[in-house]
Amino acid sequence: MSDKIILTGDRPTGKLHIGHYVGSLKQRVALQSTGEYKEIFIMIADAQALTDNFENPDKIRESITEVALDYLGVGLDPSKATIFIQSQIPELTELTMYYMNLVTVARLQRNPTVKAEIQMRNFEANIPTGFLCYPISQASDITAFKATTVPVGEDQKPMLEQTREIVRKFNEIYAPVLVEPDILLSSNKSCLRLPGTDGKAKMSKSLGNCIYLSDSADDVAKKVQSMYTDPTHIKVSDPGHIEGNTVFTYLDAFCRPEQFGRYLPEYKDLDELKEHYQRGGLGDVKIKKFLNAVLQEELEPIRKRRQEYAKDIPAVYDMLKKGCEKAEAAAARTLADVKRAMHIDYFNN
């Protein structure tokens, strides 16, 4: 068996959306059945979510249930993947404390994702220390499980780079006990950072431009109908643009060739549809109708499975508790290695 280990996760700041699905969830579901990984750890990052939601702990608490249901709905299998809650693993906080010594404040302030998030949240001069330091805590999450592979969206690139720097520095100063992880990005470009339905750069819970995995069929249809397309494409006969056109980005991310036969037999494939749109003579209503059919096909089974699991919430919490126990055992082993390497294991010999 290989020694590859996956760690990834999501912030419980709301329900999960189709950006999470194409950016990371779909890959996790595929990877859990390959037999390529010794362990798969999936973390609900509540402690990280609190760094910018500390005034609203109940939102985080409620979202844990939603995220767990989203996981089960997309087909993550607790017998193959260990699903756990970050705050229940105190070893992660302890590791963060030691890693903080290895990172400068200037380095944290340079992180482009954190920079953008600070701006979005209007933190500017009043950045909570915990928020600024979340990339360090993320390094703890990844290294605690000796993860080799982290399947995430493109916005997580700077976090992975920060983690790798911490690993190298720790191993160099103390002893080579930490594993340098690799990011695993989707091979489909449109899935790296799915834009919002408003055409904004990223679909994000905090921006309110999401199609949620748990949205009803009607809600999905309505959101698709009012989606951002090409503002210069006014009459059907006008030539249209594909770049920055959210409907086409979503089609790139979701549609499969055989769906043309089912819904749009007059076109061979997506390239032909794009050509027609660019040439003029193809209206937004038609492409939106197609996108809606494509999305409904993908989301319907997820929604149904999710509803089934939602009937027994205590069972979901039972699953999470078992996951936490298994995760804590793994993190405790790494923390012991770390303390030994740092010569702070005073009572072990």
Residues that bind ligand ATP (CB under 6 A): 10-11, 13, 19-20, 23-24, 152-153, 155-156, 193-194, 202-206
Q: What is the DSSP string of 90-107?
A: HHHHHHHHHHHTTS-HHH
Which residue number, 202 or 303, has a Cβ lying nearer to ligand ATP?
A: 202
Comparing CB distances to ligand ATP, the nearer of 143 and 156 is 156
Structure tokens at 328: 């804590």
Compare residues 203 and 270 and give the one whose CB is closer to ligand ATP.
Answer: 203
Cβ 156 to ligand ATP shortest distance, Å: 4
CB of residue 24 to ligand ATP, shortest distance in Å: 4
Q: Which helix (H) or strand (E) holds 6?
A: strand 5-10
Burial 12-37 (b: 16+ CB within 10 A, else e): bbbbbbbbbbbbbbbbbbebbeeeeb
User: Smallest distance from the beta carbon of 25 to ligand ATP, in angstroms?
Assistant: 8
Shortest Å, Cβ 234 to ligand ATP: 28
Which CB atom, from 195 or from 240, has the smaller least distance to ligand ATP? 195
CA distance 298 to 197: 17
Tokens of 271: 């390239």
Whether 194 contacts 250, CB under 8 Å: yes
In this structure, are residues 213 and 74 in contact, taking their beta carbons and an 8 Å threshold? yes
Residues 6+ apart with CB under 8 A from 218: none
Query: What is the distance between the alpha carbons of residues 349 and 333, in angstroms, rounded to a whole number?
Result: 17
**In whole angstroms, how close is the CB of 165 to ligand ATP at the nearest point?**
19
- Residue 207 vs 332, nearer CB to ligand ATP: 207
Indicate the residue whose CB is closest to ligand ATP.
23
Please, what is the minimum distance in Å from the beta carbon of residue 312 to ligand ATP? 25
Q: Closer CB to ligand ATP, residue 146 or residue 193?
A: 193
Residue 249's CB is within 10 A of a number of other CB atoms, namely: 20
